[in-house]
Amino acid sequence: MEIPGLKKELFEGITADDLLRPGTEPNSVKVTLVATFNAANYGMNFNGYSHGKAILTIPVGTKVNVTFINPSPVPHSAIVIDKPDTKKLQIAEPWFKGGASPKHLVGQTMGKSEFSFTADEAGEYALACGFPSHGVAGHWISLNVSADAKVPTLQLGDQPAKEVK
């Protein structure tokens, strides 16, 4: 099944592996989040994953540069939240300063935005859609900030975690 009305040129060539890439600066990573990447979870997914099934693990202190893309006419956004908050209907503020796309409660349609934050506290978080009720519906992936991690890793579904180089 395909989601109708997507502006596919916004995410042409982007794959699930683009969720986490090395950054251009030392101690940084590049995250590319595409909402409604495919029809999985009724389009409420990032790069095809939902319900925390993609796991990004980064060392504490990593600067995270996010490109958020929504090719859909349905509003979506991105916000870093504490993982238990995926059960809340809406989250007013991101966990990390700067950790949300603009107007995350309203969302954006058929466009792209960027934001960045420093993951300065270890814990289990989520990159979730901030549009009310979307996180509860599973529109989130896992973000683990680890004091033990030496390098960023990406785990997609049941595959083993891969070091991001």
The closest of 128, 165, 163, 133 to 143, measured between CA atoms, is: 128
3-state secondary structure of 112: strand
Contact (CB, 8 A) for 160 and 153: no
Contact (CB, 8 A) for 145 and 136: no
For residue 98, the domain's CATH number is 2.60.40.420
Q: What is the pLDDT of residue 102?
A: 96
Do the bridges between strand 54-59 and strand 21-22 make them parallel or antiparallel, or are there none, so unpaired?
Answer: unpaired
**Residue 2 domain flag:** no
pLDDT tens for residues 90-103?
898 999 999 999 99
- Which structural domain, as residue segments, surrounds residue 98? 8-163
**Residue 57 domain flag:** yes
- Partner residues linked to 46 by β-bridges: 35, 49
- Partner residues linked to 29 by β-bridges: 22, 64
pLDDT-above-70 percentage for the chain: 100
Taking the C-alpha atoms of residue 145 and residue 57, their distance in angstroms, rounded to an integer, is 6
The closest of 127, 115, 150 to 56, measured between CA atoms, is: 127
**Residue 81 domain flag:** yes
**Residue 117 domain flag:** yes
Structural domains in the chain (count)? 1
The closest of 100, 103, 58, 59 to 81, measured between CA atoms, is: 100
pLDDT tens for residues 20-78?
999 999 999 999 999 999 999 999 999 999 999 999 999 999 999 999 999 999 999 99
- Is the pTM of the predicted complex or chain greater than 0.85? yes
Taking the C-alpha atoms of residue 140 and residue 50, their distance in angstroms, rounded to an integer, is 5
How would you list the strands of the sheet with 21-22, edge to edge? 21-22, 28-34, 62-70, 111-119
**Residue 1 domain flag:** no
